[in-house]
Chain A
Amino acid sequence: MSADHHHPQELAPVEARIAAIESVLVEKGILDIDAVDEIVKHFEDNLGPMNGAKVVARAWTDAAYRERLLSDGTAAIKELGFSGPEGDYMVVVENTPQVHNLVVCTLCSCYPWPTLGLPPKWYKAPAYRSRAVREPRKLLAEMGTVIPDGVEIRVWDSSAEARYLVLPMRPDGTNTLTEEQLAGIVTRDSMIGVQRL
């Protein structure tokens, strides 16, 4: 990972202008920042990860696709029509009975928008970013995901050069589900690696 990719980025003019509008209106007491955050949270929770879920469901049901996905994530994800800003350099890491993968961006909040939508607030929080590397097992347990002692946890630090997506293990008892039904059980958190299905 090159530190260069975590340097401040130039803002698009429109993005900068909207940020200016927001800060001026909040300062003048015209705009309620809590109301804005509440709406953004709704987007974070309810939009986006469906694309990633479709990728996972395809990999579970099509062995050749799974191979392509693991060898060239960006191209395989593009096959399903998902690409765009922050969607390049996708690296898919596969959970196995021996290995659990966890994704973080230690220095900012690199995140694959086209597959997972908007990053949740906790993903951007300093506590998650530092503890995911330092004490992933403890952090995951606190988030409700207990990884058995015999399972190795691999932590992947996303950057502009590599954005990671976890391919979760297909849960037992799902043999009769269709690809579409399978996509319905794949969660955003399982593709970041903070949850097991």
Chain B
Amino acid sequence: MSGAPLDDEALPRDNGELVFEAPWQARALAVTVALVDGLGLPWDAFRSRLMAEIAQDPQCPYYESWGRALEALVIELDLATDAALDAATPTERAPL
């Protein structure tokens, strides 16, 4: 794993520490880092999409923009279809 994304200063930080408001946000970051790394893409391949999503809706919570950017990356690279994602989208979380 390259260290670059986790050092990305665009990530939400509190007094220098990376922060998450909920575990799913950490999961979202981890999925993105592992995907970009696994595909051998530069981190900017994701980052540019994230910046675009934020620019489009600056009031949107950070990790919602993140989710949209991740989905855009996945669709544009033809890794999954909209229909496949719809079919796999859970509606509730089972107790762990």
Contacts and interface: CB of A to CB of B under 8 A. Distances in A.
Interface residues of chain A: helix, strand, loop or mixed (majority): helix
A179 interface: no
A40 B95 contact: no
A127 interface: no
Contacts of A50: 17
Interface residues of B, number: 43
Nearest to A125: B96
Contacts of B92: 8-11
A108 B68 CA distance: 28
A22 B27 contact: yes
Interface residues of A, number: 46
Given A28-B79, A30-B35, A43-B30, A21 B74 contact: yes
Given A8-B94, A8-B95, A18-B70, A47 B17 contact: yes
Q: Which 7 A-B pairs have the closest CB atoms?
A: A39-B30, A35-B34, A108-B95, A20-B88, A14-B67, A20-B89, A8-B92
Interface of A: 6-12, 14-25, 28, 30-32, 35-40, 42-44, 47-48, 50, 84-86, 107-109, 113, 117-119, 124
